[in-house]
Amino acid sequence: MGKYDKILTLGLLILDAIYYALIKGLPAKAGRYPMFVCLLLLVLTIILAIETFLNKKPYDKKLFEGFKPSQFFFIVVVSAIYILLIDWIGFFITTLVYLIVTMVGLKAKLLYSILTSICFCVLIYLVFVIFLKVPVPSGFLI
């Protein structure tokens, strides 16, 4: 596992450097939150690096014991479709369908999937659209 953790650590450091390069040109007030996120990512990556490079634990083969590649690739494909359709169809309809499909695809009960997805979308609507007044992508459906 150490090899993959080292690759992940280096990748996150590169991502953090790219993120910093993108946000350093923002005005001072607009760049506060992105800079906070950048610093948080850097701190967490440094913690991962310390743990990865100083920890000499042997690889635990039980870590991926229940891993199902088909479920992983299913989520990747469904997520890509979700990202492509969110602007075209609309945030809430696409999110509702995405959540239901992913939960059913991961073997959750249909009724729980539908109820959870509806409650999550209503919560997002109330918090972000009503309370915070954040615009969400609106497609041809909503």
140 lies in a domain?
no
Together in a domain, 83 and 123? yes
The answer to whether residue 115 scores a pLDDT higher than 90 is yes
Helical ranges in the chain per DSSP H: 2-23, 32-54, 69-89, 91-105, 110-124
Q: What range does the domain containing 109 cover?
A: 69-131
Residue-level pLDDT at 116: 96
Using the 3D structure, point to which of 20, 43, 64 is the last residue of a domain.
Answer: 64
Residues 51 and 79 in one domain: no
Same domain? 78 vs 120: yes
Q: Answer for the pair 136, 91: CB distance below 8 angstroms, yes or no.
A: yes
State if pTM tops 0.75. Answer: no
How many angstroms from the chain centroid is the CA of residue 119? 19
| Same domain? 27 vs 52 | yes
Measured at the CA of 44, the angle between CA 43 and CA 45, to 5 degrees, comes to 90
pLDDT tens, position by position, 16-29: 999 999 998 888 88
Spatial neighbors of 83 by CB under 8 A, at least 6 apart, are none
Query: Within this chain, do residues 113 and 79 fall inside the same structural domain, yes or no?
Result: yes
Residue 55 within any structural domain of the chain? yes
The average pLDDT across 109-133 equals: 93
| Residues 19 and 47 reside in one and the same domain | yes
DSSP summary character for residue 27: -
**pLDDT of amino acid 52:** 82
In tens, the pLDDT along 82-105 reads 999 998 998 999 999 999 999 998
Please check whether residues 23 and 75 belong to one and the same domain. no
Residue 142 in domain: no
More confident residue, 1 or 89: 89
Q: Quick one: 17 and 30 in the same domain?
A: yes
Q: CA 102 to CA 28: how far, in whole Å?
A: 39
Q: Are residues 124 and 86 located together in one domain of the fold?
A: yes
Residue 139 in domain:
no
Within-domain flag for 117: yes
User: Is pLDDT above 80 for 40?
Assistant: yes
**Domain tally, the chain:** 2
